[in-house]
Structure 1
């Protein structure tokens, strides 16, 4: 059964930036996009580049290794070399706590 797990504080994620987090062994990239928090897999599907070290440009996250781009809101790949999208996770914010559904 899916459940929500606290992974960070919203105050730790500056607006329009990304940080890394871990939830029960799963590495996540948490993005604050214009005040809304999103959670995606931290490993780029191309060659496992750390998405939490990538840049946020508009509504996309850019892989720091080979510049693949993904829509932060959906995980959909928007520019190669990656051909598969990033897995996304449901997020809820309770007070300052960022919780991700696993």
Structure 2
């Protein structure tokens, strides 16, 4: 009888861990979305929190020293730029909401 243990590549494991870490979603929810066992994902996240890597393989020299690859750096800059734009939009919407609240308060009086 064959082994039922599924093998996942490093990229998939790291992507799954990033979803949990970056979105803050619960591990069981992410595991269900990805079609993997929540215990498996939990062990990957635990390993990442301990040594910063979701894979059981040794990190590359660039990863070990904490340096980002060029693609990762570009993605990080893009995400920071998007986050800044979204935060700006949120502040604008909050100001509009406050104006509408004041208008309603004046109108009710």
**Structures share a fold, TM > 0.5?**
no
TM-score, with structure 1 as normaliser: 0.21
Higher strand residue share? 1
Structure (1/2) with the larger helix percentage: 2
Q: TM-score, normalised by structure 2?
A: 0.20
